[in-house]
Amino acid sequence: MNIFWQYALIFAVFIALSLLNMGIITKVKAFFGGRKGAPVLQKLYDIIKLWQKDITLSTTTSWIFFAGPFLSVLVPLIAFAMVPFGSVHALISFEGDFILFLYLFALLRFFTVASALDTGSSFEGMGGAREITFSVLIEPILFVCFIILAKISNSLALENLFGIHSFTSWTHDSTVLTIVVFSLFVVMLAENSRVPFDDPNTHLELTMVHEVMVLDHSGPLLGLITLGSALKLTLFALLISHLLLPLHTDIFWLDLVLSAFVSMGVVACVGICESLIARLRIVAIKNILLGTFVIALFGIIMITRQSL
Amino acid sequence: MEDFKPFFTNPFASPIDAIPLLSEDLFWDKVILAVNEEQFRVLSLFSASLKQTWQIWIVLGNDATGLIKVGRFRVVDNAYTSRTELLSCIHLFEREIYEQSGILPRNHPWLKPVRSPHQSACSQMDFYSIEGEDIHEVAVGPVHAGIIEPGHFRFQCYGEKVGHLEISLGYQHRGVEKALLGMPKANHLKQVEALCGDSTTAHSTCYAQNMEALTGIKISEKEALIRAILLELERIANHVGDIGALSGDVAFLTTASYCGKLRGNILNLTAQITGNRFGRGGICIGGTRYDIDYALAQTLKTQLKALQPKIMGAIELFFRSPSVLDRLEKTGIIPQEWVMAYGFTGLVAKASNCLRDVRTSYPYGSYIDRDLKTSLEKSGDVFARAKVRKEEILICFELVQTLLKELEMIAHVQIQKQQNTALPAEYFSFSMSEGWRGGVAHTIITDDKGDIQRYKVVDPSFFNWTALSLAMRDGQISDFPLCNKSFNLSYCGFDL
């Protein structure tokens, strides 16, 4: 297959998978609640609906208000180009690209918060403050995870960090890899404003973290944000599924389907998590994140001791 | 020496002349003595214009003995000295009196309108604010994100911490008390039923009891039983709904969705009796409008028996989850002293180890001589308020089964609607019933023609909104929705 078509296909699959994954969460939660639940492709219908609407703008807003939604789609797409999918290599790859990966999301966060502050609402300022506080705690966890993976794979490129961890690395460093998977899962929940860190379904502005920052976005802008958050969640699920899948068949289609299925499984776990535990108090979130950081740090100690 | 007039029953009626008219100072001395020394609490305090002069009336109740005392004094020069600083529990009553009749409580510390800011001559209009560079103000409402009633909440925050919360209501003020004046009309009962939609039976029972006390109608045992059954079903439905809503607020999905459905099932039982899910039209002056025959009693019993394990299962799941308990415990604490000082009532009082229940303290109808179980919790937090609800649901299931069993024995008796709405002239009557939030109190004063001159409603929400605002002090602003839901107070019951 032509390399161009191959990547075009991969990106299309990624976007479709993202929308599907949101539906999977809804269905899993509906199952636990004894309900039928919204259609699997509801997010897609929502985006189409939002795209047909007008944008309502507050008089205080400037161009920054638009930057947040656009970046929320752009950043996950660029970040996706830096990770492998199935047996297909990353489109962009260089030594140390994981730092770019991390700070792409920091850039997105900056513009999301800035566009929230741009509206001049007291709610959105509150959400912005919460988001920044938690991100300060999330960033070191991700760094530590990437450092551990760098140590295992002897490389600084995401391509290899999340490349095939063969059976040997799971047999050798299974504990450390489990720690990494666990930490990444916690980060996935926190970064994507899922329960127990945030409640994507709540209507209570005072309790929101991420949702409150996008309250003033409407129409196509909200559609972009909805799409962006779906992409971001699936990107994290893919990272985890790369670690969980210890081998590749090197058959293009098979690997693609396998990766997609494992990521669906990860996302289903998110749904189960959301169904079984209640939301944390906002003050308790930092304890959980700090705890996760300590666990991840423990992983570093283990991996460095092994090599001594 | 002149003293307040004691009454021993609920409801009761008495000629106005039998209630002594005290001097202002003696009146307040008696009130303060009764509240501070003799464990009385203020059930109602209002102004009434009798023979072109303003009078202030008070109804005090002693929860331990069931004694009710009534007193009044004539207002001179359209003003009196405010007693709010001596008696915190009357702070809102004094503001209400000023708003409704223009009688000035001198030196009231916070004389702000209670319900209708734009129609009142009140001097104090600003929100309480905290000064400081790091303090920020958050305004929520009156239009909210969920489908709920309108109310404005003004927080003074230091970061995530709440320093002060002021609640401003009145957006649903529709003048119910005024609409009930004059000759008793058939539509008055409809107005009362809509006073607070989720406490339809509690309010309509209260209204009917007053009318019966004034006209001397005695309702039959069966009708009293049906009233009690409707009231307890209302309690179960609301408590189940509330626990579901609490669960939704902490994003605990399972209990939220199951309780939402099961609340509907209980409401459907009420609909089987009255034809309306909220019990509207169920109660009328002189009894109940709809009978429960043997077959219906049997059906209700079986359906309740089938629902009980489902409801308790869904609630048990909620109370067994550590992540849920972590959210509920030590959130929004109301210590017992505050209940005493501010006169909080009903469920809020029970959660702070203070038994305030009209059914046991001032028994009426079918609750007379009934050994009623009650639930009390000590901690006064969101958890305690949820736990009291859970216990009450269990108690109510048992109670309704007992009531239905008793009803089966007399199922053959036909209910008779007695109608006699000609009220005696210059009479006073007072009645209470225990809604699911707490005690509801209605007062009627008739004029020399036998028309209703003054109708006063006190919903438990009138007392308890203050509890919510105090519970938030030093709390986390993100816990407000949860805390609010644990009180689940009525906006329209307050706004009247």
Q: What residue of B is the nearest CA neighbor of A271?
A: B253
Helices B294-320 and B253-274, axial angle in degrees (round to 10): 170
- Residue B391 forms part of a structural domain: yes
Give the Cα separation of B218 and B389 in Å (integer).
33
- The span from the CA of B207 to the CA of B452, in Å, is 12
DSSP 8-state assignment for residue B439: E
Backbone torsions φ then ψ of B73, nearest 5 degrees: -145, 155
pLDDT at B118 over 60: no
Does the residue B148 lie in any domain? no
Q: By CA distance, what is A28's nearest residue in B?
A: B253
- φ, ψ at B136 (rounded to 5°): -125, 150
* Chain B residues inside the 8 Å CB shell of A279: 250-252, 323, 327
Distance CA B275, CA B298 (A): 18
What is the arithmetic mean of pLDDT over B132-156?
A: 86
Q: What is the pLDDT, as a whole number, of residue A61?
A: 87
Of B136, B251, B477, the CB nearest to A278: B251
Which among A2, A43, A16, A55 has a CA at the least distance from the CA of A263?
Answer: A16
Q: Same domain, yes or no, for B93 and B240?
A: no
Q: Tokens 């579901």 sit at which residue? A: B244
Q: Are B182 and B65 members of one domain?
A: no
What DSSP string describes B310-321?
HHHHHHHHHHH-
Q: Given an 8 Å threshold on Cβ–Cβ distance, is B254 in contact with A32?
A: yes
> Could you tell me if residue B57 is inside a domain?
yes
Tokens standing for residue A240 = 């985890």
Do B70 and B206 lie in a common domain? Answer: no
* A277 contacts B250 by C-beta, under 8 angstroms: no
pLDDT of res. B418: 67
Residue B143 — pLDDT band, cuts 50, 70, 90? confident
**Residue B350 forms part of a structural domain:** yes
Please provide the average confidence, as pLDDT, over all residues in chain A: 90
Q: What does the pLDDT look like over B407-445, one tens digit per residue?
A: 888 888 887 766 766 888 889 999 999 999 999 999 999
Contact assignment for B145 to A204 by CB distance below 8 Å: yes
Which two tokens mark B187?
């539509």
pLDDT in tens, B295-310: 999 999 999 999 999 9
CB contact at 8 A, B168 and B120: no
Q: Of B250, B253, B479, which is closest to A275 when you measure between CB atoms?
A: B253
Same domain, B99 and B206: no
Bridging pattern class, strands B68-74 and B5-7 = antiparallel
Q: Are strands B68-74 and B79-81 parallel, antiparallel or unpaired?
A: unpaired
DSSP class of B456 = E
User: In the prediction, which pLDDT does A119 show?
Assistant: 87
The reply to whether B61 falls in a domain is yes
Pairing of strands B68-74, B427-434: unpaired
- From A35, A203, A282, residue closest to B146, measured CB to CB: A203
Residues B97 and B227 in one domain: no
Quick check: is B479 in a domain? yes
Q: In total, how many domains does chain A have? A: 1
**Residue B45, strand partner residues:** B58
Alpha carbon of A294 to those of A299, A301, B22, B182: distances in Å?
9, 11, 72, 73
pLDDT tens digits for range A226-268 = 999 999 999 999 999 988 887 777 788 898 899 899 999 999 9
Query: DSSP per residue over B115-142, as a string?
Result: S-GGG---S--SPP---STTEEEEEE-S
The reported pLDDT for the residue numbered A307 is 63
**What is the mean pLDDT of the segment spanning B365-391?**
91
Q: How many CB atoms lie within 10 A of CB A132?
A: 12
Residues of B in contact with A125 (CB under 8 A): 136
The residue-averaged pLDDT of B64-80 equals 90
Express as a percent the part of chain B with pLDDT over 70.
97
pLDDT at site B449: 87
pLDDT of B159 reads: 86
- pLDDT for residue B237 is more than 70: yes
Looking at B84, B106, B128, which one is the last position of a domain?
B106
Alpha-helical runs (H) found in A33-121? 42-51, 64-81, 97-117
Torsion of CA A24, A29, A30, A33, to 10 degrees: 170
A1 — pLDDT class (breaks 50, 70, 90)? low
Asked if the model's pLDDT at residue B456 lies above 70, the reply is: yes
Q: How many domains does chain B have?
A: 2
pLDDT digit string (tens) for B241-276? 999 999 999 989 889 999 999 999 999 999 999 999
Residue A165, token pair as written in the block? 């961890």
List beta partners, residue A145.
none
Distance from CA of B10 to the nearest CA of A (A): 41
Say whether pLDDT at B36 is over 60.
yes
Same domain, B333 and B204: yes
Chain A interface test: which of B165, B478, B479 (most A C-beta within 10 Å): B478
Q: Do B84 and B184 belong to one domain? A: no
Last residue of a domain, one of B106, B123, B150: B106
DSSP, residue by residue, B50-97: ETTEEEEEEEEEETTT--EEEEEEE-BTTEEE--TTT-GGGHHHHHHH
Note the pLDDT of residue B117: 59
Residues B67 and B189 occupy one common structural domain: no
Q: What is the mean pLDDT of residues A41-56?
A: 94
What CATH number does the domain containing B316 carry? 1.10.645.10
Global pTM?
A: 0.91
Chain B contact for A171 (CB, 8 A cutoff):
no
Helix axis angle for B221-249 and B480-487, nearest 10°, is: 170
- Nearby residues of B256 by Cβ (< 8 Å), 6 or more positions away: A33, B244, B245, B247, B248
Read off the DSSP letter of residue B18: G
Other CB atoms within 10 A of residue A87 CB: 17
**A-B contacts at Cβ under 8 angstroms:** 88
Residue B422 inside a domain? The answer is: yes
Gap between the Cα atoms of A281 and B485, Å rounded = 16
Lookup result for tokens 């566009």: A115
Residue B362 exposure: Cα atoms within 13 Å on the Cβ side: 27
Q: Over 90: is that where the pLDDT of A295 sits? A: yes
pLDDT at position B420: 67
Which residues does chain A have within 8 Å of residue B481's beta carbon, measured at their own beta carbons?
204, 206-207
CATH code: domain of residue B95: 3.30.460.80
**B98 falls within a domain:** yes
**Minimum-distance CB partner of A204 among B137, B326, B481:** B481
Nearest to A35 among B145, B257, B480 (CB): B257
A2 sits in the region (left: phi over 0; alpha: psi -120 to 50; else beta) called beta
pLDDT of residue A166: 65
Q: What is the pLDDT of residues A112-170, one digit of tens each?
A: 999 999 888 888 888 898 999 999 999 999 999 999 999 888 889 888 888 876 667 78
- Residues of the domain holding B407: 176-495
The better pLDDT of the pair B100, B415 is held by: B100
The runs of H, that is alpha helices, within B250-293 are 253-274
> Mind listing the pLDDT tens digit for each residue in B194-219?
999 899 999 999 999 999 999 888 88
Please identify, among B82, B106, B130, the residue that sits at the C-terminal boundary of a domain.
B106
* Greatest Cα-to-Cα distance within chain B, rounded to the nearest angstrom: 73
Q: Does the CB of A203 have a partner CB in chain B at under 8 Å?
A: yes
Q: What is the pLDDT of residue B278?
A: 92
Expressed as residue numbers, the domain containing A70 is 3-307
Of chain B, the end-to-end C-alpha distance in Å amounts to 38
What's the rounded Cα separation, in Å, for the pair A285 and A288? 5
Are residues B211 and B67 part of one domain? no
Nearest CA in chain B to A208: B478
Question: Is a pLDDT exceeding 80 seen at residue A64?
Answer: yes
Would you say residue B1 has pLDDT above 60? no
Kindly report, residue by residue over A176-233, the tens digit of the pLDDT.
999 999 999 999 999 998 988 888 888 888 888 888 888 889 999 999 999 999 999 9
